[in-house]
């Protein structure tokens, strides 16, 4: 038989086998075919189509069992690709990823969380059961990939109560909050997440705990802007992380770095770079804290855009951990006021360090060191802002519990345009959740500094739009700051005939 005819026959045979019930030919069959035809075109190996494991993809049947069987088989074979094929909506309760598995959701396929809260039993925070459960999970893994161009849908609104103007009601619960976090991975070495549409989480969306060597790229993450706690990406005690070219909308923080007490054994959160991302949030688009029981350091955010958010960039230290050596550069930040449901008062940049407020909320026992009812706050030092352009209803806010808690903050080429664009009352700065007063009245300044050490503002400016309420005031106002350096700060007060540009 001529080689071309042999190759044609093999191709037809391969297609007939592979199309049976949507199944992918086992690797052994592929190897056998290649064995009889040296030099023939390569065929897929190590691909585990979830339909071959019983998934229906009808959007009604829970396919979690089939997904788990495919993942387990892939891991048992030494690794490969678990394929969620195009053309189906695969409803699923909780399932776990495994080492050396590429979880590939094809374009045109959706994996959607089962809306029944009873199927979610595993806490996202170990013994602390008051802050959600796990939908897609995995612990102590290596070489894990999620990709494919398809959609992961957390079905979040299904877990909400009544819809209000600015948010959804949070349903009451006893014991365990059943709202599922979309993806919770703990202790993963070598993680890749790329080219996916991720949406509608009921709680945190991508929560990475103690992960090392992580790359997240080219994802579109769209949560309802009315769902509280719907963070986009949370890096928790994780290190060596790169986030690039992502678009994120979330009710709560878009990208947040933290160190939770429940996972304290994983150590600091460090060596993080975020570039080329666009974000919108009802809370804080770029956030460090508030939970921080270790160290957050060596972090770079560059070439990012924040649109229509509450806060733009926030360092909100409330625990004994520290924050140091963080650079924010080449940012466009646009923020405005939202209701008090959301933390923040439209500060485009916010740097604070205050002890956490004691309380009797559902998770108060997990906020402080064991056996204590009151905590401490660590220092925030060596924070750099370079070439940041801000447009907001409020100004930049820097404040510490004592002057030594916030020090070495540098603003270079940071320009602020203030203009009143919503009917929501301003003239307030937000320190929540702190032992000190939460919402603090204060005149709106382009830069407002209160109790800090060694602050520098250079080659920067403050401008005012046409809408200037009476509480709009100075270009810069400072209280209790030692080591304040001003070099080439351009701008007048909101009312130049009544107020000086700078008040110390």
pLDDT score of 451: 98
Q: Does some domain include residue 257? A: no
Distance CA 413, CA 156 (A): 40
Segment holding 131, helix H or strand E: strand 128-139
Residues 148, 184, single domain; the answer is yes
Distance CA 257, CA 308 (A): 21
Residues 114, 130, single domain; the answer is yes
Q: Does some domain include residue 118? A: yes
Q: Does some domain include residue 502? A: yes
End-to-end, the C-alpha distance of the chain in Å comes to: 92
Residues 23, 99, single domain; the answer is no
The dihedral of CA 78, 84, 90, 94: what is its sign? positive
Residues 385, 446, single domain; the answer is yes
pLDDT score of 22: 37
Residues 221, 354, single domain; the answer is no
Residues 84, 32, single domain; the answer is no
Of 10, 30, 45, the last residue of a domain is 45
Residues 409, 492, single domain; the answer is yes
pTM here is 0.91
Pair of tokens at residue 375: 């905590």
Residues 482, 367, single domain; the answer is yes
Residues 323, 414, single domain; the answer is yes
Per-residue confidence in pLDDT tens, the chain, 504 aa? 444 433 334 333 333 333 333 334 343 333 332 233 344 333 356 999 999 999 999 999 999 999 999 999 999 999 999 999 999 999 999 999 999 999 999 999 999 999 999 999 999 999 999 999 999 999 999 999 999 999 999 999 999 999 999 999 999 999 999 999 999 999 999 999 999 999 999 999 999 999 999 999 999 999 999 999 999 999 999 999 999 999 999 999 999 999 999 999 999 999 999 999 999 999 999 999 999 999 999 999 999 999 999 999 999 999 999 999 999 999 999 999 999 999 999 999 999 999 998 865 555 568 888 888 889 999 999 999 999 999 999 999 999 999 999 999 999 999 999 999 999 999 999 999 988 778 999 999 999 999 999 999 999 999 999 999 999 999 999 999 999 999 999 999 999 999 999 999
Number of domains in the chain: 3
Q: The CATH number of the domain where 193 resides is what?
A: 2.160.20.10
Strands annotated E in 187-254: 189-194, 197-199, 206-209, 212-217, 220-222, 233-236, 239-244, 247-250
Q: How far is CA 258 from CA 54, 316, 399, 404, 420, in A?
A: 39, 10, 20, 21, 32
Range of the domain at 20: 1-45
Closest CA to 273 of 330, 199, 229, 351: 330
């Amino acid at each position: 038989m001529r080689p071309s005819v042999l190759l044609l026959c093999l191709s037809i045979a391969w297609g007939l086998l592979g199309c049976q019930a949507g199944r992918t030919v086992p690797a052994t069959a592929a190897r056998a075919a290649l064995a009889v035809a040296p030099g023939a075109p390569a065929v897929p190996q190590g691909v585990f189509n979830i339909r071959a494991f019983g998934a229906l993809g009808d959007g009604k049947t829970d396919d979690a069992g089939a997904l788990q069987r495919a993942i387990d088989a892939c891991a048992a074979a030494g690794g490969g690709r678990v394929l969620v094929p195009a053309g189906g909506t695969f409803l699923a309760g909780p399932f776990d990823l495994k080492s050396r598995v590429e979880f590939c959701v094809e374009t045109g396929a959706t994996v959607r969380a089962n809306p029944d809260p009873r199927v979610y039993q595993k806490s996202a925070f170990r013994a602390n059961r008051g802050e959600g459960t796990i939908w897609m999970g995995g612990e102590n893994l290596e070489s894990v990939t999620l990709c494919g161009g398809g959609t992961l849908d957390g079905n979040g609104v299904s877990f909400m109560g009544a819809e209000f103007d600015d948010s959804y009601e949070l349903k009451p619960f006893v014991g365990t909050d059943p709202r599922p976090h979309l993806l919770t991975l703990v202790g993963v070495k070598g993680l890749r997440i790329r080219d996916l549409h991720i949406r509608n989480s009921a709680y945190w969306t991508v929560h990475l705990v103690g992960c090392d060597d992580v790359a997240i790229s080219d994802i579109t993450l769209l949560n309802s802007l009315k769902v509280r706690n719907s963070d986009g990406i949370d890096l928790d005690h994780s290190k060596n992380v790169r986030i690039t070219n992502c678009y994120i909308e979330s009710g709560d923080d878009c990208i947040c770095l933290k160190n939770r007490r429940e996972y304290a054994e994983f150590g600091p959160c460090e060596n993080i770079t975020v570039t080329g991302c666009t974000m919108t949030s009802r809370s804080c688009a770029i956030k460090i804290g508030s939970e921080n029981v270790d160290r957050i350091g060596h972090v770079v955010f560059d070439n990012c855009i924040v649109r229509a958010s509450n806060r733009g960039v926030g360092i909100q230290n409330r625990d004994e951990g520290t924050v140091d050596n963080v650079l924010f550069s080449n940012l466009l930040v646009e923020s405005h006021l939202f209701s008090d449901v959301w933390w923040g008062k439209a500060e485009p940049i916010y740097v604070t360090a205050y002890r956490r407020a004691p309380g009797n909320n559902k998770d108060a026992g997990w906020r402080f060191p064991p056996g204590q009812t009151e905590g401490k706050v660590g220092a925030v030092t060596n924070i750099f802002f370079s070439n940041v352009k801000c447009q907001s209803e409020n100004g930049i806010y820097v404040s510490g519990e004592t002057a030594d808690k916030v020090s070495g903050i540098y603003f270079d080429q940071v320009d602020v345009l203030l203009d009143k664009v919503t009917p929501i009352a301003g003239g307030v700065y937000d320190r929540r959740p702190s032992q000190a007063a939460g919402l603090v009245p204060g005149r709106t300044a382009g830069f407002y500094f209160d109790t800090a050490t060694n602050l520098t503002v250079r080659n920067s400016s403050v401008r005012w739009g046409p809408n200037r309420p009476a509480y709009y005031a100075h270009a810069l106002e400072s209280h209790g700051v030692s080591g304040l350096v001003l070099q080439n700060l351009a701008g007048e007060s909101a009312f130049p005939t009544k107020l000086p540009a700078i008040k110390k």
